[in-house]
Amino acid sequence: MTEEERELVVPVEGEGERLDAWLAGQIELSRSRIARLVSEGRIQLNGTLPRKSEPLTPGDRVRIRIPAPAPARAEAEDLPLSIVWEDEHLLVVDKAPGMVVHPAPGNRTGTMVNALLHHVTDLSGIGGVMRPGIVHRLDQDTSGLLVVAKDDETHRALSDLLRARRIRRLYLAASWGHLDRSPRKVDAPLGRDPANRRRMAVVAEGGRRAVTHLRVLESWPAAELLEVGLETGRTHQIRVHLAHLGHPIVGDELYGAGWGAGMSGSIRPFAQSLARRTPRQFLHAHRLAFRHPGTGEVVRFESPLPPDLAQVAEWARAEAGWESES
């Protein structure tokens, strides 16, 4: 397999963005891999070798040479894996909570990729040696639906659909407090939190556009069950946007630590019990829909709340005297 060469033209909305950040939003490569390609001289900006942090101007031409993908080197492991759909082009996985999607420092084994390599012999190599077939990801403690590509053509097509916002992704989330209106659209750029590199944050400058749609499904005494739609797919996007609104996800220790325990008045017992009962961040990738690159048919998938979160929701409904319509 030979290397791939692409040329992209920076649009008006790309003005001022860093080269590596903008490219990461256009092609199916991480910023760290783009940085390596820059250092290897595989990326040109208007015919010259740029810095990874080079600011862009509308009309700039970016040429990138992507080396042929190496065979996946992650180890195949016989791990439980819930495959809800599989054909010659792709598969859809219902990821269990606690499972990391792909190997990384500190998580070389036990990941969804390790399980995939045992269950599936053909995966796209575009994601590199540790992310074969991975089109999009979920946080370790987020459960639910993911699509995985089996061949490079399908991987590119799915990545194009994702960038064009034509893969519909809906989540179920429980958040503290109550939104002032529903439905609600959050349009707030995200970037790395300068005070804590483990966190993302809504930033005034240098961030990437992030759009989240919120709709209340159930109202509980100290929290709500939401349906959340992603228009973009930034790191920790739902968690950060809800925390930014002052309604972090129940059980989210990174963005919502301490919530529930500090509530007062008549809702305090409910809030404290809800916090104790929630074993992880209450976030589940519930629905997934897209036009299948191989057949052209629209395919739709749905995953109900897994048992750990379903038990929490049933308790909250009983306490609130609320019957679900979801």
* pTM, entire model: 0.77
Could you tell me which residues come within 8 angstroms of residue 310 by beta carbon, excluding any fewer than 6 positions away? 304
Hey, do 4-66 and 169-285+306-320 end up sharing a CATH topology, with the first three levels equal?
Answer: no
Burial-class residue 222 by CB neighbours within 10 Å (0-12, 13-18, 19+).
buried
pLDDT at 103: 77
- Judge contact between 279 and 251, C-beta under 8 A: yes
Let me know if 78 is a catalytic residue.
Answer: no
- The residue ranges of the chain whose pLDDT is under 70 are 1-2, 69-73, 105-107, 126-130, 261-262, 322-326
Decide which of 3.40.50.300, 3.40.190.10, 3.30.2350.10, 3.30.450.90 is the CATH code for 169-285+306-320. 3.30.2350.10
Q: Which fold has domain 4-66?
A: 3.10.290
- Judge contact between 24 and 31, C-beta under 8 A: yes
pLDDT at 294: 93
Domain ranges of the chain: 4-66, 83-162, 169-285+306-320
Residue pLDDT, tens place only, 206-261: 888 999 999 999 999 999 999 999 999 899 999 999 999 999 999 999 999 877 76
Residue pLDDT, tens place only, 286-301: 999 999 999 999 999 9
CATH no. for 83-162: 3.30.2350.10
User: Catalytic: which of 60, 94, 139, 151?
Assistant: 139
